[in-house]
Structure 1
Amino acid sequence: MNKAVTNSTTRLWPATLARVLLAVVGGYAFTYSVTAALARLLPGERIDAAISATLLSFLVYTGYVLWVYAVPLRRGLLSLLAIVPLVLIGFWPHLFSGAA
């Protein structure tokens, strides 16, 4: 096998693995935080808002995975910073209440 081909493929593995992990694990964390925030922010009954947010989560996860592969890896990693305000919106009342 050509040495140039071997070197280029071995250098691609870390970036590919990082992108796959970002898409799967980061996508799950992002979608979970978006769903929690939407369940709190959508108008209507609590159960209706939760069901609507859960149904939208399938679109959010799919969109996030596609977006991670479309942008540079650093920008994809920076997108994880958006989780912080979403978690605060979605879980703020439960963070300090001590409720299980």
Structure 2
Amino acid sequence: MKRKASLPVSYRLAVTSRALAAVFGGYLLASLASVCMAFWLPISRADAVVSAMMSAFVFYLLAVIWCFACRSAWRAWFGILVPGAVLATLAGVSYWMARP
């Protein structure tokens, strides 16, 4: 009986890393984008929050597509964490500037 060749462990780890980046990093990016948009949209606070939360689905989708379109898992993580750090910084600055 002939046995099928199995995928290498490095490939499996790369796919697992991309999936983790897509799920957790995508959630991080979507939530930070939502927070930033809620601060920045020039409409009423309630409308800004609802609009930002609705657009978070688009950010999450784009993050997942990005993670699986990259050539390497490192680039996927880099492409998620760098914009996440920028958005976190902007959200923090916006929060502290909006405080009375």
Q: TM-score, normalised by structure 1?
A: 0.81
Give the residue type in structure 2 aligned to 1:41.
W
Q: Does 1:43 align with 2:47?
A: no
Other-structure match for 2:84: 83
Gaps of 5+ in 2: none
Give the residue type in structure 2 aligned to 1:85.
V
Instruction: Determine the C-alpha separation between the residues in 2 that align with 1:93 and 1:64.
Output: 23
More helix by share: 1
1:82, distance to aligned residue in structure 2 (A): 1.2
Instruction: Determine the C-alpha separation between the residues in 1 that align with 2:56 and 2:89.
Output: 18
Whether contact under 8 Å (1:27, 1:64) holds in the other structure is yes
Percent of residue pairs identical: 26
Whether contact under 8 Å (1:39, 1:46) holds in the other structure is yes
1:93, distance to aligned residue in structure 2 (A): 5.3
Q: TM-score, normalised by structure 2?
A: 0.81
1:34, distance to aligned residue in structure 2 (A): 0.7
1:83, distance to aligned residue in structure 2 (A): 1.1
Whether contact under 8 Å (1:39, 1:90) holds in the other structure is no
Other-structure match for 1:98: none
Instruction: Determine the C-alpha separation between the residues in 2 that align with 1:52 and 1:93.
Output: 18
Number of residue pairs matched by the alignment: 94
What is the correspondence of 1:1-100 to structure 2 with a 5 Å cutoff? 1-2=3-4, 5-6=5-6, 8-72=7-71, 73-79=73-79, 80-92=81-93, 94=95
